[in-house]
Structure 1
Amino acid sequence: MPLQYINELLGLPELQLQQLVSIDTKEVHLEASPVAYKQPCPLCHSEASVKRDGRNRTRQIRHLSIFGRKSYLHVPSIRMTCTRCRISFVWIYDFVGPKQRYSQAFRAQTVEQTLGSTAVHSALMQQAPVSTVQRMHQEALPKACEHLTKQAWREAEDSSNLVLGIDDFAIKKGHTYNTGIHNLRGETMLDLWAGRKLEDLRAYAQANPQFLALKPKAVVMDLAKAYHTWITECFPHAIRIADRFHVHGYVIESVQEIRKSIQHTVSPRAKATLKSHHRLLNPPIDQLCVKSKAQLESILAFSPLLRSVWEWKESFSLWYDCSPDINVARLGFMRWLGQGETLDHPAVRSTLKTMRNWQEEIVNYHHCRFTNATVEGRHNRIKAYQRRHYFTRNQECYKAGILVECNRPHLTS
């Protein structure tokens, strides 16, 4: 292939290829030089007083792969002198930083691969040392995080109907938690901080006036009292919504408690059937296939109480999906509570007590139908990131990595 086509393939207009130094099955070495003869002085920005003053050693720069081989550019390190400013400087290339051995394009491609994978995988793809890939990732992470975070906050501040989602995720289950705040409309993560107790939430609000300047229409969260107390203090006019899937979990838990209680009263064969197909009791019936519906019918036939509480659970799903407005939803919720009172079981009574205590927040779902489903999906991304990076010890890199991981699919980096 002629050198001019290779030059276009490299995408470096500031260089002109001179010759092909060597080529084998793994590497391509190309000699290149700047197209311009002189370069402006970095102080006076003039070429009139600049003269060339010889060359130092040739620089070998790793660039993007071509023809399935690693490519290396051999470029001269040209010494320049400005007679006006009386300074000497070395030719500054746009495609590579000073004293660097990897081009900007190679770094960008490597970092892009690392953000969605691991340093080991990216190093294997680029045929580069793992330590080098990790260093590139650590250098690019703060800038990418700053850009994406500013963009996410700008969208939240400019939104006229902002809906926030708040939830925590575990670093160590049962011991250490982080809390994240999310823009549910923009599907972005705004920030995260250590802790989930009320004092941790208040400390974050005091340290971040940008958060208090937001004007959310609604805030979606689970039934943790600390969250509702904190949001009432920060945004007294915002609608507090109990997350649908957390609320629904209480009803499903009562169904499973009744299933466990009747397992001890049936035959061993029926007990095995109940235990093996217990997950069929959780989803709405319209999400099951024909075979699963038949299996569900067989386990509901073991107990009238189990059938009744399952129908109570199904009516709760219908209430969520079919209530046309807040007034109808409030009446339907009261009827659903009355239906639950006919089921004489401790698990149902415990669930009804929780539902009455949080009645207003549960019904508020019908003001604006948002849930923390995207937040839970983002938590899965965070857990995968933590496993890939083995819980980065540097807290700033840990936070920046999570924010980039969560916001990169929805924002431009």
Structure 2
Amino acid sequence: MHNQYTDLLLDLPEVKTEKVLEVGEQTLHVEVSPVAHKQACPQCRSLDFVIRKGSNPARTIRHGEAFGKSIYVRVPAIRLFCKQCQCGFVWQYTFVDSGKRYSHAFEKQAIRTATAATVKHSADLHAMPASTLQTKYQHWLALASERLQERVWQDAACTSKLVLGVDDFAIRKGHTYNTGIHNLRGEALLDILPGRKLEELRAYAKQHSFFLELRPIAVVMDLAPYYHTWIQECFPKAIRIADRFHVHRYVIEALQAVRKTTQTTLSSRAKANLKAKHRLLNPKEESLSVERHKELKEILDYSSLLGQAHAWKESFNEWYDCSPDVNTANRWLETWFVQGEQMQHPAIDACVKTIRNWRTEVVNYHRCRWTNAAVEGRNNRMKAFQRRHYFTRNRKRYVQGLLVECNQSRYG
């Protein structure tokens, strides 16, 4: 291979290839030298009085991979002397730090792999000590998370018509939770709070004044009272929206409760068929294929009550999708309440009662049509991060990792 092609392979503009020293089964050693003859003095920043004064033993730097082989670059440690400053120094290369064995490009590649897997897996993949990569990864993570968090808060503060999303996700389901604050319009995770109790939320607002300086026009959250109380205290002028996904879940659960009641009255064959196909009741009817639609019609024919409950659920989807304004939405929702109460089923009555209690927040969706769909997707990424990193115990690094995981793809 000609030296110019080796230079392209290495992609190190400040050095040029002298020769390929060794090609092994797993390694490729290349000797290089600086393109320039001299380097500026680190004190006076001048080239005029700098002379070469011998060299130290050459350094071997690990630099990426090519053709399935690990590339090692052998660089000369040239000694220089400035006659004006009367100081000696050694040639410094921009692609590697002084005294280090790994180039910046190689470290960046190893760290990128560690963010998608684990440090141990990345270290094994790149044939380097896990402790070394762990140190480099933690240093990079601290810098990257600080940079990203500063950027997302600046964007949130400058965003016109800011819409926030608030939702919890489990560290240990049923026991320990975190709360995420999201910029829905900016598609970013702003911060992670420990816990979800009202006292913990209030403590966060007191400690982070920049949160209270935000001016959201709306905040989307589930039906947890502590979130609504907290947001009402922090942003009294913001529209509080009950997240569509969480509200719709109450309707789905009521429909499935009707299905379970219906099952007990059917023959064994019909009961088994309904139980096997009960998930067909959940999605929108229009989203089903022709074959699935026939199967749905078959199970709905088992009971008139089940058919009415399914039509009631479909009407709720239509209410969300087709209400043109708030006034129409209010009238339509009242009709839907009456339709549910006429079925006289305890599960449906409980669902109607819950949505009546949160009627203002539910109808507010038609004032500002935002949902926490993106937040739920981000929660899944957080849970995947937790499993991948075995639930990092260090709280600070845990939060840093989640901020990078959720924001790096957008902000780089």
TM-score, normalising length: structure 2? 0.95
Cα RMSD of the aligned pairs, angstroms, is 1.7
Question: Cα distance, 1:124 vs. partner?
Answer: 5.1
- 2:118 is matched with which residue? 118
The residue that corresponds to 2:395 in the other structure is 395
Superposed CA offset, 1:296-337 (max 9, x none): 112212221111111111100100000011111111111111
Of residues 366-375 and 392-401 in structure 1, the stretch that sits farther from structure 2 once superposed is 392-401
Q: Secondary structure at the match of 1:324?
A: coil
Gaps of 5+ in 1: none
Structure 1 residue 86, shift from structure 2 partner: 4.5
Task: Tell me the alpha carbon deviations over residues 269-299 of structure 1, each in whole angstroms, 9 at most, x when there is no partner.
Answer: 1221121111111111011111211111122
Length, aligned pairs only: 412
Matches within 5 A, 1:298-337: 298-337=298-337
Instruction: Quote how far apart the aligned CAs of 1:6 are.
Output: 1.0
Q: Please say which of residues 13-22 and 277-286 is displaced more in the overlay.
A: 13-22
Deviation at 1:123, TM superposition (A): 3.9
1:341-380 counterparts in 2 under 5 A? 341-380=341-380
Report SS of the residue matched to 2:388. Answer: helix
CA distance in 1, matches of 2:300, 2:207: 54
Q: CA deviation at 1:145?
A: 1.4
**CA positional deviation for 1:61:** 0.2
CA distance in 1, matches of 2:396, 2:56: 39
- Code of the residue aligned with 1:301 in structure 2: it is D
Instruction: State the 1:125 CA deviation.
Output: 4.6
5+ long unaligned stretches in structure 2: none
Q: Deviations over 1:317-376 (max 9, x none)?
A: 100000011111111111111111111111111111111110000000011211101111
- Output one character per residue of 1:233-259: Cα deviation in whole Å (capped at 9) or x when no partner: 111110000000100000111111111
Please name the residue that 2:134 is paired with: 134
Which SS does the other structure have where 2:409 is aligned? Answer: coil
Work out whether 1:405 is the aligned partner of 2:405.
yes
Shift of 1:99: 1.6
| 1:29 maps to 2:34 | no
Amino acid at match of 1:122: S
Distance of 1:270 and 1:127 partners within structure 2: 60
Cα deviation code 1:203-242 (max 9, x no counterpart): 1111111111111111000000000001011111100000
Q: Which residue of 2 aligns with 1:172?
A: 172
Identity of aligned residues (%): 54
Q: Deviations over 1:108-161 (max 9, x none)?
A: 122222222333553455344444443332221112212222222222111111
What SS is found at the alignment partner of 2:410? coil
CA distance in 2, matches of 1:364, 1:274: 36
Equivalent residue number for residue 338 of structure 1:
338
User: Aligned residue for 2:268?
Assistant: 268
**Aligned-partner Cα distance in 1 for 2:98–2:367:** 57
1:19 alignment partner, SS class:
strand
Whichever residue aligns with residue 253 of structure 2, its letter is E
Question: What is the aligned partner in structure 2 of residue 216 from structure 1?
Answer: 216
Q: Spell out, residue by residue over 1:79-124, the C-alpha distance to the aligned partner (whole angstroms, 9 max, x if none).
A: 3344544444332210001221110111112222222233355345
Instruction: Give the partner amino acid of 1:31.
Output: E
- The worse-fitting range, judged by mean Cα deviation, of 228-237 and 337-346 is 337-346
Secondary structure at 1:401 match in 2: helix
Cα distance in 2 for partners of 1:286, 1:124 equals 49
